[in-house]
Each structure stands twice: as C-alpha cells, then as structure tokens.
Amino acid sequence: MKRSHGFLIFGLGAAALVAAAHPALAAEFPKNSAGFPIHAPRPWEWWFQPAASPIQKAIDWMMQFVLWIMFGVVALVGVLLGIVMVRFHASRHPVPTTTTHNTVIEVLWTVVPALLLIVIFVPSLNMIYQQSNYKHRYMTVRVIGHQWFWEYDYLGAKGVDFTSYAIPPNQLKPGEIRQLSADHPLVLPAGKKVVFQITSKDVLHSFFIPSLGVQRYAIPGQIWHQWTQIDAPGVYYGECNQICGMNHDDMPIEVVALPMKQFQAWLAEAKKDAAQGNVPKVHKYEVLAEQAAKAKAAALPGVTLASAAAPPAVTH
Ligand SMILES: [Cu+2]
C-alpha cells in the first residue's frame, strides 16, 4: 500500500511539473529579421507547439482534459491492482472468497465510465461544431497539394496564385529552417478568420499546421475546408503529413501572419506582381515590415504603409 501511494505521489508531482513548465516554455520565441516571432518546433519539445489560434487552444485544452481523466483512471486501476496483489496474495490470503457478485460495485463500474464518456463527449462535440463554423470569414485561400509543392490561390485577389517550394538545404540563408522554410510563404493577416479550401492535383496530401490547429487531407477531386484565426503576427510552420511519394518531405508550409495594414500592402503588391505575370517576390513581407518600422521611427506620414493599402480580399 505504502509503495503504491509513493508511486501515485511521484506521478502527480511529475504531471504537475509538466503542466507548470508548459506555459513557461511557450513564453519566448526567437525573432526573424523583420522582428516577427518564429513559431517553429524546437529540439526536445515534447508537448504540442504553443497554440496560436482559437481552435488549437481548444485542441490543447481538450488534450489536457482527456489526459487528466486518463491519468485518474490509470492511477485508480494501478492502486486497486496494487491492493489486490499485496493484500490478497496467496501467502497472506490462502483461502479465496467465493464472492461472484456485488451489485453496488457492478453499478458503479458501469455508471462511472459512462459518465466519464459523457464528460469527454460534450466538449468534444462542441469543438467539432466550432471547427466547422466557416461563417464571418475575412478571406479564403485555396490550398492545392502537388507532388511535391503547395499552391496558394487567394480567392478574390485576381491572379494572386503562387507555388511554394521547400528551400533546398544548400540554399538556406541565415534564419531559414531546413525542411520548413519555403521560397514563397503563405502570407495571411493576423487576427482575421481565414478559410482554407483544401484540394489536390495528383495524390493524397495533408495540409497540417500544428500551432494553428489546421489539419486536413488534400484529396483530388474534392474540396475540404478548414479555418484558422492567427492570434498574432509571426511565422508559423507546418508540413504535408500524408505520405505522398518520393519527395513527401519537401512539402513544408510556411505561414507569415502580418498585421492588417502590412497584409493589405503585401496583397496590393502581390496583385501588381500578378498583373505583370510575376509571382510575389520572395520574403517581400520583411521589406514591408522594415519600411513600416522605419516610417514609424521617422514618423513620416507620407511613408506609412496605409497609403498602399488595398481593399481587403473578401470572398464567400
Ligand atoms: Cu504531400
């Protein structure tokens, strides 16, 4: 008995430490040259990446909620097993009882697990509804999987449709991440609801951005939806997580979330580029961010990005 108590206390202590360390670990992010936090996976990270969207926060909460219930169940069963092994060991309890039924216990072990399932089912169903609510979107991006790159088509922004390839390891510049940085990142506004229309041109892919709570199969001939709303400006990473052929690992997803004004400026530039038949220039958002910072520092109203802002791309 004493021993199982010891294990229980140790387990509770370890779990409490992990729970306490989790927000502390999430507190700081390295910054890129434009001053945006980089939300990338880190060595020895063994929890989810810090949540950066309402859906991912809900997923994170749900995971911990179910984890604690599971922890309670495992601890209870472990303690009961311990009691049985110690107290009813053949040496201490040579004559077994002939008990076969106990109504109270039988009712309990039916009702309690059923209640636990209901307690898990209700928030889980709620989350499914939340995830499939595409109303009040700000914009829609069609995401198309290809062997082996992504294509992003900004619906409602004429011609803004570009491909996004992994940067080969020998061409990485400082601050870029191997197998995660892309040549043309998906640029989105922070704080706005964005809906992805996800499909594929060839085989099954999967559009997966863990910190934003986005994961959907990209299926040829079908369009599946998923939405996100990025909490704050930053760079977020994901990858195709459906084995899709030889270069499956060359399908990273890099999302750059910009403050609204910078996003509008970027979109205006991207539209201009598209009208000339060019893809949006590589990492132009960094240039824009630097311009914005300079303009702010110099307090020159003529140089602010607002002047370049275009009406938002709203589609339904
Ligand atoms: Cu793929």
Alpha carbon of 205 to ligand 1 centroid (Å):
4
Alpha carbon of 245 to ligand 1 centroid (Å):
7
- Whether the predicted pLDDT of 60 surpasses 50: yes
Alpha carbon of 271 to ligand 1 centroid (Å):
27
Q: What is the CA radius of gyration of the chain?
A: 26
φ/ψ of residue 34, rounded to 5: -90, 5
pLDDT per residue as tens digits for the range 131-190: 999 999 999 999 999 999 999 999 988 888 889 999 998 988 877 888 898 988 999 999
Alpha carbon of 86 to ligand 1 centroid (Å):
53
Alpha carbon of 216 to ligand 1 centroid (Å):
12
Residue 112: pLDDT band (50, 70, 90) is: very high
Alpha carbon of 267 to ligand 1 centroid (Å):
27
Q: Cis before residue 109, ω within 30 degrees of 0?
A: no
- Whether the predicted pLDDT of 316 surpasses 50: no
What local confidence, expressed as pLDDT, does residue 301 receive?
46
Give pTM, 2 decimals. Answer: 0.76
Q: What is the 3-state secondary structure (H, E, C) of 166-226?
A: ECCHHHCCCCCCCCCCECCCEEEECCCEEEEEEEECCCCEEEEEHHHCEEEEECECCCEEE
2-94+104-131 against 139-289: fold identical = no
As a CATH number, domain 139-289 is: 2.60.40.420
Alpha carbon of 177 to ligand 1 centroid (Å):
19
Alpha carbon of 149 to ligand 1 centroid (Å):
7
Share of the chain above pLDDT 70, in %: 80
pLDDT per residue as tens digits for the range 190-234: 999 999 999 999 999 999 999 999 999 999 999 999 999 999 999
Alpha carbon of 4 to ligand 1 centroid (Å):
47
Alpha carbon of 243 to ligand 1 centroid (Å):
6
- Whether the predicted pLDDT of 45 surpasses 80: yes
Share of the chain above pLDDT 90, in %: 54
Residues in a beta bridge with 162: 152
CATH architecture for segment(s) 2-94+104-131: Orthogonal Bundle (1.10)
Q: Where do the domains of the chain lie?
A: 2-94+104-131, 139-289
What local confidence, expressed as pLDDT, does residue 307 receive?
37
Residue 291: pLDDT band (50, 70, 90) is: low
Indicate the DSSP class of residue 28: -
pLDDT per residue as tens digits for the range 233-260: 999 999 999 999 999 999 999 999 999 9
Alpha carbon of 286 to ligand 1 centroid (Å):
27
Does residue 292 contact residue 223 with C-beta atoms inside 8 Å?
no
**What's at 49, amino acid-wise?**
Q
**What's at 54, amino acid-wise?**
P
Alpha carbon of 251 to ligand 1 centroid (Å):
6
